Amino acid sequence: MREVSVMRCFRVLMVGAMLLGVLALGASAQDKPLTFHVGAGYAKLLEDDAPGGSIGLTGGVIYNLEKPEGFAIGGEAGYLMLGKEEEEYNDDEFDVSVKSEAKLSVIPITAQGYYMVPMDGSLAPFLTLGLGFYNVRASVKVEVDSGNPVIDDMLSIDDSDSETKLGMNFGGGLKFGAADARVRFGADARYHIVMTDVENTDVLTLMGRVYF
């Protein structure tokens, strides 16, 4: 199912690239050579039984190339909270209660390439492809309350683990406002593939951005 989803994403991007090529024929205004951006939005792990998504934060820089026109390169870093799961169990027979909490987050640091369409109007679409490193961190906390401090300390868990893996992302978005404006706003969607050991970790992000 994951391979089908990825192929569909690539097909959508290919169609988008063709449309952007047509739009580029009427483009004349140019973005500033160097642009910084910050963003906030939604991040979701695309796995069965994955926790609900949570907030994501990103920031980066984009350098717009003179030639070929419409292309840019840049770097980006972020912090993606992928949600948490909480459970509570009470055993009345043994008078024991157990609370557990699991959290998952990802820190991406990537180099990005962009195909951007500076237009005469106030709306400019773009495609992006990135490659870099993703630090995946998981933490687990289990609290046991049996009334016996010694047993509680033995059974309780508070641990975390992380690994840094190669990953990529692809997607597209829109910028709003004049190309030469001091501040512009935008939004984009990205599909992230992190090459973790057992199987790839797939993440969807939806971000609102401010460019300055």
- Residues 143-180 pLDDT 10s: 888 778 877 787 788 888 999 999 999 999 999 988 88
Domains and CATH numbers, the chain: 2-211 (2.40.160.20)
**Whole-number percent of the chain with pLDDT over 90:** 48
Alpha-carbon distance of 7 to 172, in angstroms, equals 16
Q: For position 30, what pLDDT does the model report?
A: 58
Mean pLDDT in residue range 73-83: 95
Q: Which of 132-136, 148-152, 170-174, 192-196 has the lowest mean pLDDT?
A: 148-152
85 pLDDT above the threshold of 60: yes
Alpha-carbon distance of 203 to 169, in angstroms, equals 9
Q: What type of residue sits at position 157?
A: I
Alpha-carbon distance of 118 to 24, in angstroms, equals 8
Rg, C-alpha atoms of the chain:
22
Angle at the Cα of 102 (from 203 to 170), degrees rounded to 5?
10
**Mean predicted lDDT score pLDDT of the chain:** 83
Q: Which helix (H) or strand (E) holds 150?
A: helix 149-155
